[in-house]
Chains A and B, each alone.
Chain A
Amino acid sequence: MTDTMILDRLNAVKPAEERGAPLLEISHLRKEYDGVPALRDISLRIDKQEVVVVLGPSGCGKSTLLRCMNGLERIQAGEILLDGGVLTTEKTDWRLIRQKIGMVFQSYELFPHMTVLENILLGPLKVQKRKRKEAETAARVLLERVGLYEKRTAFPRQLSGGQKQRAAIIRALVMEPEIMLFDEITAALDPEMVREVLDVMLELARSRMTMVIVTHEMQFAKAAADRIVFMDEGEVVEDSPPGDFFVKPKTERARRFLNIFQF
């Protein structure tokens, strides 16, 4: 594969005809911690190329929901389907599934003993067994896109928070996942670095990457989301387009939540 082909593949905006087909379906998901319910009865559908932003007060279960989608939490009841295949059986090989589901964490979690490039190449080389040359090209294309190519030989401790988070996004993207999960990835950043990370996500949204984003950045949610899912006390309370949600929320709980962000 030539550089330009890789570049084209990575930069391509996904064809519009794929839109609307379900990619990730969750039905009646229940999750408990020692008998205390964290997610009560969640049903949610995420379509291909859709950007879903999950909002809600802290402790409402939005991060837990994201972690369930990636098999980091065991669930007590319900089903999760990816591309029509059930993920929640005993036989599920999460190693294979996780290659299709990219995840970025609040605390970056880059591997501190590896350079940026080594962090990014670990998955493609060791998990996907791709050719080094091809993987390096893909990494370069992505790093250039987020303005980090010069930092490829730096160790995580030499990077700012924003740079670390951008590198972590690339680490997930280079696996060419079908869907990306973002778990409050700007929450630990200094204010001036939030923007550079949000810009990367916004650009991803425009290239029609399917994304589920947990965040507290309301302006960003307005700008990027196709749909807002509002959660409270382990339940999905509202599921509507951002235009509706921010302008005329249907429930009292959502109204109260939105008021917190207003002065």
Chain B
Amino acid sequence: MRDLGIRVLIEGVNLQRLLLGLAVTARIAFIAVAFSMVLGVPFGILMTRRNAALRFLCRFYLEAMRIIPVLVWLFIFYFGLARNFHINLSAAAAAVLVFTLWGTAEMGDIVRGAVTSLHRHQYESAHALGLSEVQLYLYVIIPQAARRLVPGAINLTTRMIKTTSLVVLIGIVEMLKVGQQIIESNFLKSPTAAFWVYGLIFFLYFILCMPVSRLSKRLERRWQS
């Protein structure tokens, strides 16, 4: 190859900068996933309650999060909050907030599915033993439901990692943005830089998500049979 565009990746601090960008991406994903997993559990349990008003509210929240694209939510929080409430969220904070709101809804639905898949008798026999509501969940329901929700939760994690790629559209300096900068500064020197840089980013996302989704598939297969 004449211009050896791939060299752009190893020249100077380019690779280091890309990896730092990856770290920003990963941090956003990690924080959002952690919050979602934690908040999703109580939200999911709320969804299984009999109270009709409560159920409707939860359902409405879940459906709203689902039907509207995450990127639209990102716009609403990033642009809308600043405009109306003069809350100037940094782009990264807006991203974490939106991904957490969305992730909590999805995680909640996974928890709901796992909890309702348990047999009624489990509740009845726990009540018969005189366990309190909190004890019921702590000792009986959650340990049993946990196993059923692990594959779904892992799967959600890969979806959330992929979703972090959206933040380039609200201008956070992360992997993609760094990539753009590298490409621009090398535009004359190595015209094929874009191919290699975006190729690498593509690959980085892939090796971030693939093992996780493999794991989720394997667990799903093993635990369902």
A and B touch in the complex (CB under 8 A): no
